[in-house]
Amino acid sequence: MKGFLNKVLLFFLILLIAVAGTFSITYLLSYRNVSNITLDDNIHTIICGDSHTKTALNDSIIPNSLNIAHSSEHYLYTFNVLKVLLRSNPQIRTVILGFSFHNMSSYYDDNLFEPEKTQYMYPRYISVLDRKAVSMILTANLSGFVRDIKDIYQGVNRHIGAKDLSQYSFIGGFYDSDRTNKNDSTLRRALMHHYHNPDQSVQDFSTFQLLYLKSIFDMCRDANVRLILMNCPVSREYRAQIPAKFIEHYYEIAEKYENVFIDYHDYIVPEEFYGDGDHLNKSGSKLFSLYFLNQKKWEDEGNNENFHK
């Protein structure tokens, strides 16, 4: 009986080693491929972040730009995507990163570890994550990683032969929304989502967002790339209902990045130019993108040299 159990254990050990080895080789092949993504030479500005930048800045209006923003994207993911793009594309001179009130909420850290989020996020980003990020996820959420391993493997494998930019799941894009759904219901849903727990209590501040915001700043500074942290437009009703502690915390952080921070949260557009309480629709993004384009401030003052640590 003991000999039989030893054989069973040995079989599963060999199987585990084989699976781990196959995954590791596939991951390395995939990471090597994504590390060599080359953009068109005329792409000098990368627009990134979450759904706020995804819906606010139209890259067909901003010259020589590419919007790669993804909804609910954590700065850990943004950092890793930018890391491979900046390394392979020296023509990139400016990074515009969405930096809004809700980005400092623990809601974003939930995106790293909660099952309903990780089942989509891990397969989307796994191929672009460096060893530090993978190690952190495995340490903090090994059970979730194992649970989603089939989808994660498919996500890794998908990028081995990818060549066209649209084949990389971690590359988002501008969302040209036709929605005009700004009402009390969509406002309440967004505010609950961003700032409140299911029991109505106010969420805590994010830990990892702040850490990776600093990492993005340092990376852009070291690469001599202009970084712009931009607070995108939100409706007055949405802004009025953000918990006060988040407003205070947000501007304390923004003050540290004052030389690269631009605040457009109160940019006024007609009511029908909002898709909901905190996202512009296609009409709103057109208006705002043209306004942004004409603001020389974002070209002249996006400067990393005088950051006060």
Sketch the domain layout of the chain as residue ranges: 2-300
What pLDDT does 146 receive? 86
The pLDDT tens digits of the residues spanning 32-88 come to 778 889 999 999 999 999 999 999 999 999 999 999 999 999 999 999 999 999 999
The pLDDT tens digits of the residues spanning 73-82 come to 999 999 999 9
Tell me the pLDDT band of 138, cut-offs 50, 70 and 90: confident
The pLDDT tens digits of the residues spanning 198-209 come to 898 999 999 999
CATH 3.40.50 fits domain 2-300: yes
pTM confidence score: 0.89
What pLDDT does 131 receive? 87
Tell me the CA distances in angstroms from 156 to 86, 110, 134, one per residue in order.
21, 22, 13
Asked if the model's pLDDT at residue 13 lies above 70, the reply is no
Asked if the model's pLDDT at residue 298 lies above 70, the reply is no
Spatial contact of 262 and 231, defined as CB atoms under 8 Å apart? yes
